[in-house]
Amino acid sequence: MPEPKEAAPSPSPTTFKEAVRARDAAAAVALLLPMAPAAAAAALMESPPRFGQILLGDLPAEVREAVLAAAPPEQALQWRRNAAYDEKAVGRMMEPVLGAFPPDRTVGEAIEALRDLVKKVLVTYIWVVDGKDRLLGVVTMRDLLFRGKEERLGEVMLRDPFVLHAEMPAEEAMKTVLDRHYPVYPAVDVEGRLVGLVRGHTMFVAQAVDITLQAGSMVGLDDEERLGTPWKRAFRMRHPWLQLNLLTAFLAAAVVGAFQGTIDRLVILALFLPVLAGQSGNTGCQALAVTLRGMTLGELKPGTQRSLVRKEAWLGMLNGAGVGVAAALGMYVIATGQENPAALVLSFVVFVAMILSCVASGVSGAMVPLTLKKLGFDPATASSIFLTTATDVVSMGALLGLATLLVRGGSV
């Protein structure tokens, strides 16, 4: 029989669009470097704004300046402005402001000014700003078309429009727009000046990418790793987290070692250690997934953390009792088959330990991301590693601890 062939690694993106689609920054930059500055600027303008900003920042300084010089002036100014904001901020998603007019401009004048602009870009709203670019109001295309041409924009605009603050985290911004669904949002700085436009589609795409990265973050994968990432770089990204996981595994092993005498006396318990660890681990992962989803979508409001933890504890107890009955029955059958006189007592130990471990894992699944966020870390970062440690320690400790108490009491 021929030996199975080793799966070939995924090929690196061969075109700039493929690299952007794969969010492979290293490959995208490598493809940008040989391009003419004007072509590189055009390619970046077609990329998602936040990712394009990252690529621009990764270019060598002399190449970056050449690209900025070749880009349209309004786009170059926007790129420079966006670079001042954090990578996770709304400001990194901003596009140039188009269709901004003073309040004394007439409707007819605005329509004439837009006549050539709408042939090149999609214009949804007209932005009314004062002499210092502070946003005063917004005019919809419907109002622009059906109001008198001699009316002033200041008379027909909608005052106090909803805005995004350029420095706010994109995750927080997503929570504020969930029930709005506007195609375009104005972004203002701390002084209320209109500094850019953020398209709703851009925000939702960025959020979808962030959500897909959570699965990797939970087990310590770096956000930048992709299928085409070279193995050396992937090793550097993954290995530190595996070392951390090894240290936490030693903690679980230490718990088992502390009850070595009980295991020596009741070897049958060793059969059920992975059963409890697996069930409690799944319970914890369910709680973790729901908590991260709620945090990402803005469903977790301030002051609701305690109710979430109580809910997961209650669900853990119910689920633990349900699977505990089946696990206890399994223990009874095996112990009886081995003619162990304490089969019923051991079944009770498994039942109670299952409930305790599932309650603890449910609470841990909610508490781990909440704690990481409170400490200022990404809630998804390596959360699965910390959760696994908690569930293993509690489940094994509960089973062996209860059995030890019964051994000392002479029940088994």
Per-residue pLDDT of the chain (412 residues; tens, 9 = 90+): 344 444 444 455 678 888 888 778 888 899 999 999 999 999 999 888 888 888 999 999 999 999 999 999 989 999 999 998 988 888 988 999 988 999 999 999 999 888 888 877 788 899 999 999 999 999 988 888 888 889 999 999 999 899 999 999 887 887 788 777 788 999 999 999 999 999 887 777 666 555 445 444 444 444 455 555 677 777 777 777 777 777 777 877 788 778 888 877 787 888 888 888 888 888 888 888 888 878 776 677 778 888 999 999 999 999 999 999 999 999 999 989 888 888 898 999 999 999 999 999 999 989 988 888 888 776 766 677 778 888 888 888 888 888 888 777 665 5
Domain total in the chain: 3
CA dist 372 and 370 (Å) reads 6
Specify the pTM.
Answer: 0.52
Give the other-Cβ count within 10 Å of 43's Cβ.
21
SS3 sequence of 103-138:
CCCEHHHHHHHHHHHCCCCCCCEEEEECCCCEEEEE
pLDDT for residue 294 = 81
List all residues 6 or more positions away from 27 whose beta carbon is below 8 Å from its beta carbon.
Answer: 12, 13, 19, 228
CA dist 351 and 364 (Å) reads 20
Task: Note whether 319 and 173 are same-domain residues.
Answer: no
pLDDT for residue 7 = 40
| Listed residues 53, 83, 113: the one ending a domain | 83
CATH number at residue 142: 3.10.580.10
Establish if 352 belongs to a structural domain. Answer: yes
Establish if 90 belongs to a structural domain. Answer: no
Task: Note whether 135 and 59 are same-domain residues.
Answer: no
- For helices 61-70 and 37-45, angle between their N-to-C axes, nearest 10 degrees: 80
Tell me the residue range of the domain where 391 lies: 231-408
CATH number at residue 290: 1.10.357.20
Establish if 244 belongs to a structural domain. Answer: yes
Task: Note whether 168 and 197 are same-domain residues.
Answer: yes
Establish if 138 belongs to a structural domain. Answer: yes
Task: Note whether 197 and 242 are same-domain residues.
Answer: no
Establish if 158 belongs to a structural domain. Answer: yes
Task: Note whether 292 and 143 are same-domain residues.
Answer: no
CB 94 within 8 A of CB 81: yes
Establish if 1 belongs to a structural domain. Answer: no
Task: Note whether 252 and 207 are same-domain residues.
Answer: no
CA dist 267 and 272 (Å) reads 10
Task: Note whether 187 and 118 are same-domain residues.
Answer: yes
Beta strands 164-165 and 158-159: pairing type?
Answer: unpaired
Task: Please list the residues that pair with 194 across neighbouring strands.
Answer: 188
Task: Note whether 188 and 259 are same-domain residues.
Answer: no
Residue spans of beta strands (DSSP E) within 230-320: none
Q: Which two tokens stand for residue 159?
A: 């005052």
Establish if 10 belongs to a structural domain. Answer: no
Tell me which residue of 352, 336, 334 sits closest to 271, measured CA to CA: 334
Establish if 95 belongs to a structural domain. Answer: no
| Listed residues 30, 53, 83: the one ending a domain | 83
Task: Note whether 185 and 324 are same-domain residues.
Answer: no
Task: Note whether 47 and 162 are same-domain residues.
Answer: no
Task: Note whether 143 and 199 are same-domain residues.
Answer: yes
Task: Note whether 202 and 237 are same-domain residues.
Answer: no
Give the single-character DSSP code of 84.
T
| Listed residues 211, 239, 273: the one ending a domain | 211
Sheet of 125-129, strands arranged across: 100-101, 125-129, 135-140, 158-159
